[in-house]
Amino acid sequence: MLQGAGLPIQMFKQSLFLLAIGFLLLFFTLHYFKMGFEAMICIDLFLVFWGLHKVVSWYLGEKFGIASMVAIPADAHKSIRLLGLLFVAFITIYGAQDLLQRVAT
């Protein structure tokens, strides 16, 4: 963990994770009630908050998982960690772009 990264940034990271899980659960609930447009907005918000959580984990130098079976350890080579960050950034930007397109129409 980086020096000086204390409790506030850990709380922020935990809040991002809880928001991501909350939007995922809200997606399933809205999908069950056949509210497709709102459910897709929740998926986009899930992708954005999931990605931000991974970016904060990367910034803190912690292990972060990018898929169910793929986790990048804290002591991995910098290029591997950067590659994982680029993948997460791609997913986050995709979610944000899709969210903006849905809300704009």
For the chain, what are the domain ranges? 19-104
**20-34 b/e (C-beta count within 10 Å ≥ 16 → b):** beebbebbeebeeee
State which H helix or E strand residue 65 sits in: strand 64-65
| pLDDT average per 10 residues of sequence, the chain (105 residues) | 69 96 98 97 98 95 90 95 96 97 91
pLDDT of residue 79: 96
pLDDT of residue 4: 56
Secondary structure tally for the chain: helices H, strands E = 3, 2
pLDDT of residue 5: 54
Structure token digits, residue 64: 């972060």
pLDDT of residue 81: 96
Q: What is the pTM of this model?
A: 0.90
pLDDT of residue 105: 74
Bridge partners (DSSP) of residue 72 are 64
In eight-state DSSP terms, residue 35 is -
